[in-house]
A and B are shown apart, each in its own frame.
Chain A
């Protein structure tokens, strides 16, 4: 007895293409000096990279010509603006000549990072978050993005702590996640904080607002009555 049903004819429709919404190519940009320029991803403190979209008309990107004389986005203004703000534009070939961290999904106008996978017949894209987090962390270890300043890590720790507290009653699952992220940031802070310079070099200021050369005498401790 056959378990295969009988049908009138087999379909001749070709496998469907990837129905991804078009998205332009982009650079990834780090904001290492921003208090909010860092995040915890897969147990690592990594730069929170934003996309600088190569879209004519967005953030100063204009229309220029490529090497063959064809119209192409010209991001010069946008790149200059980003660098002027102290941001680090990660070059596409940061991992070596001929490599790129972005790629175009075949048969679409959608550009994605190389850690994203698209599938035929769906607009669902999956991400290799672990791979991306490793790579983002390597940007720091390789010296492409400066290490996070202490105040950024402190801001990140305060942020995670606040979320952990707020979610504790309503969403224990999220509170636990925030606690875990907080532990990662605190571990890094513990390693870095002893290296912070004391503020000995700060000018001593007299009461009239003018800086004085000699350090002001330390105030005598007040006694409680």
Chain B
């Protein structure tokens, strides 16, 4: 007497059925928000400026050169205005997906839906900007370096003392640490015999404003964690930073959609569809234009064990 099982019914069953929803692969998706320290570094767009390189003059006025005492009836020697500069090179950052017509037809989850890919383009661009910031902040001359040692409160306090000792390092400050650095510091903060310094963890409302990377405030510094923070010392460590306004400068380009196959996302990301009817392929291309440079020594790189 035959028994019907899933094995005998193999011609009528699928070996696997798709779940109704897909889940995102694990990745470092948290982008830095427009914190005031980062906003202060924005030097505009390169649109209509005849170059993709912006030169930012650094001028020694308003207290850089101070008056000197001069004797009576002695001519004062004229002083040259001290100046310097740094540059920001704006380049294209792009990504493209190509899908066949058949793949789009059978896509049951909307993975190849243009709106999904447009959202992906916007997030990717923001993360790329975070990458550029992280590629720069390990380069401050002043460092708090503890290779092979987990980050502790003492290290953070020392970094903040060095930051406060830098001329012109005033106003709000931002700290950006690697996930591991953050975890190490929180372990130290939470378990070691402590002082009276209060860490204020991020609340839901503030996370809504500043994004998931925001962790809280400590000694007036807004702390963010990011998996994009670069490694140091042959991968043994990570190099985050704490910095004030003026530490980094950045620039971008405003993009406009010029035909019906293009969309400008927030004026920053150009998302477009390119159709190749001969092959039955559709390309979804996103482009943004930005550049980040270290500006002045108004930050401290924090290097600790990975």
Contacts and interface: CB of A to CB of B under 8 A. Distances in A.
A60 B234 contact: no
Given A48-B145, A129-B236, A167-B154, A57 B290 contact: yes
Interface stretch (A10-18, A32-40, A194-202): A32-40
B265 interface: no
Contacts of A63: 91-92
Interface string B211-245: 00000000000000001001111111001000000
Contact of B148 (A41, A77, A167): A41
B131 interface: yes
Contacts of A21: 28, 227
A209 B69 contact: yes
A208 interface: yes
Interface in A129-183: 129, 132, 159, 162-163, 166-167, 169-171, 174, 177
Interface string B76-91: 0000000000111111
B132 A51 contact: no
Interface string A48-79: 11111101111111110000000000000100
Nearest to B150: A174
A87 to B, nearest CB: 9
A84 B25 CA distance: 43
Interface in B226-279: 227, 230-236, 239
B126 to A, nearest CB: 14
A225 B235 CA distance: 62
Nearest to A210: B71
Contacts of A208: 71
7 contacts: A48-B143, A51-B135, A55-B132, A56-B93, A58-B291, A116-B235, A127-B236
Choose among B139, B142, B152, B231 the residue with the greatest number of A CB atoms under 10 Å from its CB.
B139
B235 A57 contact: no
A125 interface: yes
The 7 lowest CB-CB distance pairs between A and B, nearest first, are A56-B91, A132-B234, A57-B291, A166-B154, A116-B235, A58-B135, A57-B91
Choose among B93, B132, B135 the residue with the greatest number of A CB atoms under 10 Å from its CB.
B135
Contacts of A193: none
B92 A49 contact: no
Contacts of B1: none
A99 B293 CA distance: 30
Size range of the chain B interface in the assembly: 35 or more
A128 interface: yes
A126 B69 CA distance: 59
Given A37-B141, A57-B89, A81-B86, A50 B152 contact: no
Nearest to A101: B234
Given A48-B145, A115-B235, A170-B193, A53 B152 contact: no
Choose among A49, A55, A167 the residue with the greatest number of B CB atoms under 10 Å from its CB.
A55
A113 interface: yes
Interface of A: 21, 23-24, 29, 31, 34-37, 39-41, 48-53, 55-63, 77, 81, 85, 112-113, 115-116, 125-129, 132, 159, 162-163, 166-167, 169-171, 174, 177, 208-209
Given A37-B141, A59-B136, A129-B148, A171 B91 contact: no
Nearest to A22: B131
Contacts of B234: 112-113, 115-116, 127-129, 132
A39 B147 contact: yes
Q: Is the interface of B mostly helix, strand, loop or mixed?
A: mixed
B188 A127 contact: no
B232 A50 contact: yes
A57 B147 contact: no
A113 B135 contact: no
A200 B91 CA distance: 53
Given A36-B142, A59-B139, A77 B89 contact: yes
A116 to B, nearest CB: 4
B152 A174 contact: yes
A126 B155 CA distance: 24
Given A62-B89, A62-B91, A129-B236, A53 B135 contact: yes
B131 to A, nearest CB: 7
Given A163-B146, A170-B154, A51 B235 contact: no
Contacts of B145: 36, 39, 48
B87 A77 contact: yes
Contacts of B232: 49-51
B138 A50 contact: yes
Contacts of B93: 56-57
A24 to B, nearest CB: 8
A73 to B, nearest CB: 9
Given A39-B145, A170-B154, A177-B149, 20 more contacts: A36-B143, A50-B239, A50-B301, A51-B135, A52-B139, A57-B89, A57-B291, A58-B132, A62-B53, A63-B91, A77-B89, A113-B235, A127-B233, A129-B147, A163-B146, A163-B155, A166-B157, A170-B192, A170-B194, A174-B152
